[in-house]
A and B are shown apart, each in its own frame.
Chain A
Amino acid sequence: MGRLLGYLAVFAMTYAFYVVFTGAISVFSLAIGALMSAVVSVVVKPLVIPGELRASDLARLAYLVAYYFYYMAVAEVRAHAKIAKTVLSRRMEISPAIVEVPYYVKTSYGMTLIAGSITNTPGTVVVQVDTERRLFFVHWLFATTFEPGKAREAISVDFERFARRIFG
C-alpha cells in the first residue's frame, strides 16, 4: 500500500506537469499523457521517493500549500522590500558575511526546501551545505551575528518550521 501510494504521488505530479506543459485538453492528449505518465512514474519512482508514503502523509500537502502562500506573499515580499530600500537609500547599510546556519530536519527534501527558500529570498544565499554536521554556509547581506543559533533564528527558523511539517 505504502509503495503504491508513492507511485500514485509521482504519477500525479508527472501528469499534472504534462497537462500544463502540453496545454491541450483533447482526449488524445489526456489519454496518451496518462499512459506515458504511468510508464514514467514506474521507471522514476525509486529515484523520486526512495521510501514509502502513508495515507497520513497526505495531510502534509496542506502544509505545502500553506507554505507556498506564506513564502510568496510574506517571506518574499518582506525580503524584497528590505533589499529595495537598501539599494535605493543614499547610504547602503550592509554588513556582508558568510555565517553558519544549522538545520534540524531529517530528510534531504526538507533540507533542500530550506536551502532553496533561503537562496530564493534576496539578501541570503546558501553557498555550501555540510550534511554531516547539518550546517548551511549562508552568505548574508545584513549579518548581525556569527552565532549559528542566532543566525538561524534570523534567517531560516520560519522556513524550517514548515519544512519539518511538510517533509519531516
Chain B
Amino acid sequence: MRIREVVIAVSVALVVLLLAYVIEAGGLGPIAPRELRELAASYLVNAYNPWNVTQSALSLEAVTAIVWDYRGLDTFFETSVLFASIVGVSLVFRGYRERLGIGGRGLSEIVKTSTRVLLPLILIAGVSVALHGHLTPGGGFQGGSFIAVLLVLMSIVFSLDFVVERGLTSGRLLALRSVGLIGVLATSVALLAAGLALGVEAYIFQNVAREGSELSMPQWLLDRPTGGTLIFFNMFEALAVAAGLALAFLVLSLREEEVREALGVGEWYE
C-alpha cells in the first residue's frame, strides 16, 4: 500500500514536471506570440481612440468594447439564449406556487447575523463591477452574477420563506429579468430610433458617430468616458443576469409541497 502511494505521488510529480518542461521548451508552440496579429492590434488601437471615433467604441476596456460593440449582436443573442433557458426552467416546473410556512430554519444565528452585514456589501460590489465594465475588467454579466449570489445566500442562510416573504417571488424576478432584456434591446436600437425620428441615417447597435452617421450616445459622464452604449448595456445586462440566475435558483430549490400540484398535472396527462 505504501509503495503504491509513493509510485502514484512520484508519477504525478513527474507528469507535472515533464509537462512544464515541454511547455517551457516550446514543445506546444509559443504560448503567446510576441507580435500581435493584425486583428488584435486593430482592436487594441481602436477600443479607445478619440482621434478615430468612427472606428472606436470609446471604451477603455477592450474586452467590453468587443463584447458589446464590435460583436454586440452576438452578445445580444447570447443574452437571449440565457433568457430562453430560464423560461425553459420555469416552463418545466409550470404550475408551481410559492408557499409560505412550510418551514426551514436556515443556519445558526451567528451565520444569519454575519450575512445581514454582508448583504449590502455584495450588492454594491456587483453594482460597481457592472458599472465600471467599460473602464476595468468586469461588466454586466459579472456584476449580475455577484448580485444573484444574494438570493442563493439568503435562501440557504435564512430559508426560502424568508426570501419569498420579502417579495422576491419568481413572478417579480421574471419581470425584472424582462425589464433588463427590454433595456438591452432598447439600448441597441436607441440611435436607430433617434435617426428615424430626425430623418437622418443611423445603424442598429450604433454606439458613437459612425461612417455616414453623426449621431452619438453621450460619450462622457463627469470626468470619465461612458463608452456610449456600453454603460447602458452593462447596467441592463446586470439586471437581467441577476434576476435570471436568481430565478433559476429559486425554481430549482422549490420544495415538494410547492411543485406537487404541477407534478399532478403531468400525471393526469399520462
A-side residues, CB < 8 A to B, are: 10, 13-15, 17-18, 21-22, 24, 26-29, 31-33, 36-37, 40-41, 43-44, 47-48, 108-109, 111-112, 115-116, 126, 128-129, 131
Cβ of B222 and Cβ of A36 under 8 Å apart? no
Query: Which of chain A's residues have a CB closer than 8 A to the CB of B10?
Result: none
Question: Which residue of B has the minimal Cβ distance to A14?
Answer: B120
Cβ of A44 and Cβ of B112 under 8 Å apart? no
Binds A, one of B36-44, B67-75, B126-134: B126-134
Cβ of B114 and Cβ of A44 under 8 Å apart? no
Known A-B contacts A26-B223, A28-B221, A40-B127; the reply to A17 vs B110 at CB < 8 A is no
B-side residues, CB < 8 A to A, are: 108-110, 112-114, 116-117, 119-121, 123-125, 127-128, 131-132, 135-136, 221-224
Query: Which of chain A's residues have a CB closer than 8 A to the CB of B125?
Result: 17-18, 21
Known A-B contacts A27-B223, A36-B124, A37-B124; the reply to A47 vs B110 at CB < 8 A is no
Query: Which of chain B's residues have a CB closer than 8 A to the CB of A27?
Result: 222-224
Cβ of B128 and Cβ of A18 under 8 Å apart? yes
Q: Which of B108, B110, B123, B132 contacts A29 (CB 8 A)?
A: B132
Cβ of A112 and Cβ of B114 under 8 Å apart? yes
Dominant SS among interface residues on chain A:
helix
A116 and B120 CA atoms in complex are apart in Å by 20
Query: Which of chain A's residues have a CB closer than 8 A to the CB of B224?
Result: 26-29
A115 and B197 CA atoms in complex are apart in Å by 63
Query: Which of chain A's residues have a CB closer than 8 A to the CB of B123?
Result: 14, 40, 43-44
Known A-B contacts A14-B124, A33-B128; the reply to A48 vs B117 at CB < 8 A is yes
Cβ of B121 and Cβ of A14 under 8 Å apart? yes
Question: How distant is A49 from chain B, measured CB to nearest CB, in Å?
Answer: 9
Known A-B contacts A27-B222, A28-B221; the reply to A129 vs B109 at CB < 8 A is yes
Known A-B contacts A27-B222, A36-B131; the reply to A17 vs B124 at CB < 8 A is yes
